[in-house]
Amino acid sequence: MVLAVLRASEAEGEDLTLGDLIEALLTGGPLLPAGLLADLRRDYGHLPPRIALSMMARDPRWREAVLRASRTYLAELVEGW
């Protein structure tokens, strides 16, 4: 889910909130258990994605997911150069 948000954020920039972006990503089916998805929307859904992701990186519930997704995302960018 976090990797999908990173990828979509590159295309959308700050035009959408994290909540809007999540809704768009969910059209393909659930990406997280309902409880985690509700927490994500409640805590970060009102923020621009990049701000939300930076705050999530400091949140123990999301830190590892953000770190893993960031590493994968950066590796994809480097491969594309």
Q: Structural domain boundaries of the chain?
A: 2-80
pTM above 0.85, yes or no: no
Digit-coded pLDDT (tens) for 17-72: 888 888 887 776 666 677 788 888 899 999 999 899 999 999 999 999 999 999 99
17's CB contacts (< 8 A; 6+ apart) are 45, 46, 47, 48, 49
Q: In 3D, which of 75, 22, 76 has the Cα closest to residue 48?
A: 22
Q: Give residue 13's region: left, alpha or beta (phi > 0; psi -120 to 50).
A: left
Tell me how far CA of residue 79 lies from CA of 5, 36, 46, 72, in angstroms. Answer: 19, 31, 32, 11
